[in-house]
Chains A and B, each alone.
Chain A
Amino acid sequence: MSLIKLALKNLLRKRIRTALTVCGIAVAVGVLVSLKGFDVGYQNSLQADIDKMGYQLLVTAKGCPYEAATLMLKGGGGLRYMDEAVYARIVSDARIDKITPQLVQTVFDPDKNDGRGGLSLFMGIDPSYLELKPWTHYRSGGWFSAPDAAEVLLGYEAAELEQRVVGDRIFIPGVDEVLTVAGVFERTGTQDDGILFMPLKTVQAMFDLDARLTGIGIKLKDIAQIHAFEEDLYDEPGIQVVSMAQVKGTIMNLVSSARVMTHAIALIAVLVAVIGVVNTVLMSVFERTKEIGVLKALGASRWDIFRVVWLETIVVCVLGGAMGGLLAILATDLVQRAIQRVLPYAPSGDLVLISPALLAAALAGTVAMGLLAGVYPAFRASSTRPVVAIRMGE
């Protein structure tokens, strides 16, 4: 007859109470694991998104709010314009590996979203754009027939949304122009999938933005030169330089206040769950005072009793932890969708990444929690004086 068996059977004595306590822990641990998974997943996806921009530096017009880089990443409007001459001046810098000018424009399309309307995103590019994104392939068609052709290249999702194939015509609301689809890209898993690309000159002409740009993407030969390069551009009037590392920092900052909040809530949930465990185990210790007294009369040492109660607590915590981990895995999709709704910028990859290491850490955490939560009830139980306990209720 092992003490382990005794501990396990004690847990079955009040099944509902045990189950509720386990559930409390499961919820707390589940929330915590989800959040940690989000921490990892979000950063990874953000990094992946930024890597897939292809460039390390983005030159924009001065006065463009810092968050404009974020908007840019997301593909929003409200951007300021800079002169194309800037591009001409820096394009020949020897430190540059690749450089691409872009002109982003948004157009309100009243037919989008089942008639509720929505923004269509256009980007004027030249062939250098694809050089920065070597992973982009055509699904069908190919590059524009001329640098000022009235043609459009569709991102994978944009093509799906617009229901267009190569050769189809597409109407641009607002400017009342009709373009021909020159090609459709394969899915890239980036923001590019939703964009309608046009020749840079075409966008400039169509929106009356002659010799204007919204941004210049730059990839350096040697990333170590990024600071020197940025400093040299300080002299250039009318522009500002944002590194993708800064963009990442800005986005992480935007997210961090939400992170602090949710972490605080999760930690409170864990604390409440731990108090629940202590309470449950203490209650079951008090109910068993007489029995504990008898066990001591039969020869149980303080440590024997301590172990039984401690083990019970640990089992409850580990069960809860395992269930919590499972819960977090099952709820990944749900959490992901909820997060996408509230975040200022949601990258395109998996936002919640629950790794085996994370699950192992969570389980280890619940063992530690059990060890800690069990100490007091176990100590109380082991301190039971047999004579007093056995006479209880007389």
Chain B
Amino acid sequence: MAECLIRAEKVSKHYRLGEETVRANDEVSLEVTAGGFYALTGPSGSGKTTLLDILGCLDTIDSGRLTAFGRDVSRMRESQLVTVRRGNIGFMFQDFMLVDTLTVRENVELGLALSRSPGSPDRVEEIIGTVGLHPRRGHLPKQLSGGERQRAALARALVSSPRVLIADEPTGNLDSRNSEAIYSLFKELNEREGLTIVVATHDAELAARAGTILSMIDGRIVP
């Protein structure tokens, strides 16, 4: 049986908006096992982003229990969570979020430096090659197409060789051809290198390419 990397047990995250309490995540239980490829689907506002933030040790939880990489992170503060993230988790976002003053290579180098992972210039070149951006490595984000930017963001997320890639609607701003390219890369990295992936998406067709599809409604995972 595969190793369990992240385990959520009845994890909840609430927001108070005046009188009302929004249950962004409502007693969610989930296991992310090594080598898995998970797709989170569900309507907007169903809690996908919240769950990804929690699984990615980016956000704190209000109740329940969260174990990540062998550590109980349920009560950790943000300053402690950052050490859990480093080298374990890579992030991708819908709007790429590259540093726009830095070139592709510098963005990837920054990802490596901030994660405190051992890595060489070779590793940076290698990962840029993996996402097919070698010819564009000296370009600034604004000189790239959306698809290229998202591939640069993928390289930045993976340069530190994290165990889990968390991607929040990574193809939300891309056309179908570029979306297809990103998912092909995901599939390849998952199958060839055993990268664990958790991705949120609206697109049922893309979700179908994942090993496990999880549907969310109103902050809960529905069977």
Residues of A participating in the B interface, judged by any CB pair closer than 8 Å: 1-3, 5-6, 9-10, 12-13, 290-291, 294-302, 304, 385-387, 390-391
Contacts and interface: CB of A to CB of B under 8 A. Distances in A.
Given A387-B58, A391-B49, A295 B102 contact: no
B196 interface: no
Given A299-B114, A300-B114, A304-B114, A1 B82 contact: no
B27 interface: no
Contact of A290 (B59, B97, B160): B97
Contacts of B113: 1-3
Contacts of A300: 82, 114
Contacts of B93: 294, 390
Interface in B37-88: 49, 53, 56, 58-59, 78-79, 82, 85-87
Interface residues of B, number: 28
B82 A294 contact: no
Contacts of B110: 1, 6, 295, 298
A299 B82 contact: yes
Contacts of B58: 297, 386-387
Contact of B101 (A9, A295, A390): A9
B171 interface: no
Contacts of B101: 6, 9-10, 12-13
A33 to B, nearest CB: 33
Given A3-B113, A297-B56, A299-B160, 16 more contacts: A1-B113, A5-B102, A9-B101, A9-B102, A290-B97, A294-B99, A297-B91, A298-B110, A299-B82, A299-B114, A299-B115, A301-B79, A304-B114, A386-B58, A387-B58, A387-B59
B111 A298 contact: yes
Given A2-B113, A299-B82, A304-B114, A390 B97 contact: yes
Contacts of B114: 295, 298-300, 304
Contacts of A385: 78
21 contacts: A1-B110, A3-B113, A5-B102, A5-B106, A6-B102, A10-B101, A12-B101, A291-B99, A294-B91, A294-B97, A294-B99, A297-B58, A298-B110, A298-B114, A298-B115, A298-B156, A299-B82, A301-B82, A385-B78, A386-B58, A387-B53
Interface string B140-181: 000000000000000010001000000000000000000000
A11 B106 CA distance: 17
A302 B79 contact: yes
Contacts of A1: 102, 106, 109-110, 112-113
A285 to B, nearest CB: 14
Nearest to B115: A299
Nearest to B78: A385
A297 B162 CA distance: 13
A357 B115 CA distance: 43
A3 B78 CA distance: 21
B101 to A, nearest CB: 4
Nearest to A386: B58
A295 B85 CA distance: 12
B134 interface: no
Which 7 pairs across A and B sit closest by C-beta, in order of nearness? A1-B109, A9-B101, A299-B115, A299-B114, A299-B86, A1-B110, A294-B97
A301 B160 CA distance: 16
A2, A291, A390, most chain B CB atoms within 10 A: A390
B116 interface: yes
Given A2-B113, A387-B53, A298 B78 contact: no
Contacts of A296: 82
A300 to B, nearest CB: 5
Nearest to A391: B49
Contacts of B85: 297, 299
A296 B111 CA distance: 10
A295 B87 CA distance: 14
A187 to B, nearest CB: 59
A299 to B, nearest CB: 4
B174 to A, nearest CB: 18
A298 B91 contact: yes
Nearest to A300: B114
A376 B182 CA distance: 41
B103 to A, nearest CB: 10
A301 B77 CA distance: 13
B71 to A, nearest CB: 16
A12 B102 CA distance: 11
A224 B207 CA distance: 99
Contacts of A291: 97, 99
Nearest to A291: B99
A263 B58 CA distance: 51
Contacts of A10: 101
A304 B79 CA distance: 12
A352 B178 CA distance: 67
A10 B99 CA distance: 10
Contacts of B78: 385-386
A137 B175 CA distance: 93
Contacts of A301: 79, 82
A298 B114 CA distance: 6
A248 to B, nearest CB: 57
A1 B116 CA distance: 12
A390 B169 CA distance: 13
A385 B53 CA distance: 12
